[in-house]
Amino acid sequence: MMVPTPGLAHDWELSDEGGVQVLRLRAMRIKDVHYVPRTIGESVMPYMMLRGLRKSPLAGVRWDGVVCYAPSIFHGPFVRALKSASQCRAYLIVRDIFPEWAVDLGLMLKNGIPFHGFKAVANYLYSVVDTIGVQTEGNLDYFRRWQRGKGRAAEVLPNWLADRPIDTTSLQLSDTLLAGRKVFVYAGNMGVAQGVDVFLDLAHRMRERTDIGFLFVGRGSEVKRLEGLAASRRLENVVFHDEIPPDEIPALLAQCHVGLIALNPRHKSHNIPGKFIACMQAGLPVLATVNPGNDLVKLIETEHVGAVSESTSIDELERLALALSQSTENRTSVASRSRCLYERLFAPTAAVRQIVTALTAPSDI
């Protein structure tokens, strides 16, 4: 595994992490920075990674296949170099269709220079891979034209999450204002793409309920603004906490009652967030608000693993939240359905088999 890593003292660092050989390659910081330095950092990232790889002990390795992940859309030059040197196939896992989602959210103009620049970068990445895996059926349409190229294939590759033992966590709800309450938890990135404001509005609507609380855990560009908004509203039913290590998430969710899922309603693409899978893994029902037509709606409703709204109506969300908190249904049944869904669709073994099959398919390379 090769990972771009800011702050390295040298161009590369090789280690064994859980039985996996990890090569960290020096790169610029691209998280929690402004858009301009982030764009610069991502633009030079593949070239910095190539330089680090060529200086590392793995410089002469011949790879059987290359698997890359978007975001970032800037990995094209790095992937092409690996493919060319090893004469192998490449599989791209697409989780965000960028820059289109930025246009949907009003962050970028479709006829503007930035959009066309990012679009060219994304198209270059798509051009150097052989198979593209998207999260849901709804996203396949975007790659119909791309698939016309010889030897190309797009397929649904559901998101995945490895099982982790319920160990310990530094965040104990018994030590917070939420002690003794039924806790609705949002654990993950809080940026523009998520639209977490709607759950803060829900908390404000339910502020008189002493039996229900809201927990927001994570990082992102909107965290400070959301914290300030909660403080200005004097919400005593809300707690914010910094991001915690992934290994602590199961122990956190074990203390909670409902998982919160938010996708900005202006999105036009489909998304199965990792936090949804974490809730299924933990046996938690979810309360979700997503963009209209998102494939996640059908999944939640047909599998009976929570409640979902395709609008940002606080009245509707309050009704759904109260129904979930007051449900007399046996929680064991909810947990069982959630776990079955996780094991059927989101376990890593299924994704590994699918990717390996694509990489070992007959090739014209």
**CATH placement of domain 2-160+348-359:** 3.40.50.2000
Mean pLDDT lowest for which of 90-99, 129-138, 188-197? 188-197
Band of the pLDDT at 365, cuts 50, 70, 90? very low
Superfamily of domain 173-346: Glycogen Phosphorylase B; (3.40.50.2000)
pLDDT at 327 over 80: no
**Domain regions of the chain by residue span:** 2-160+348-359, 173-346
Q: List CB contacts of 79: < 8 A, sequence separation 6 or more.
A: 66, 68, 90, 92, 125, 128, 129
CB 25 within 8 A of CB 12: yes
- DSSP letters along 114-171, please? HHHHHHHHHHHHHHT-SEEEESSGGGGGGGTTGGGSTT-EEEE-------------S-
Give residue 334's pLDDT: 83
Give residue 254's pLDDT: 92
Band of the pLDDT at 63, cuts 50, 70, 90? very high
Where is 2: in which H helix or E strand? strand 2-5
3-state class (DSSP) for residue 192: coil
Total Cβ atoms within 10 A of residue 282: 22
Band of the pLDDT at 84, cuts 50, 70, 90? very high
φ and ψ at 241, to 5 degrees?
A: -145, 145
CB 279 within 8 A of CB 257: no
Same fold, 2-160+348-359 and 173-346: yes
pLDDT at 269 over 70: no
Band of the pLDDT at 107, cuts 50, 70, 90? confident
For the segment 229-245, what is each residue's pLDDT rounded down to a tens digit? 999 999 999 999 999 99
Band of the pLDDT at 106, cuts 50, 70, 90? confident
Give residue 295's pLDDT: 84
Looking at residues 8-15, what average pLDDT do you find?
A: 95
Q: Strand locations in 197-274, DSSP E? A: 212-217, 238-241, 258-262
CB 127 within 8 A of CB 152: no
Looking at residues 3-12, what average pLDDT do you find?
A: 94
Question: Cα separation of 76 and 123, whole Å?
Answer: 9
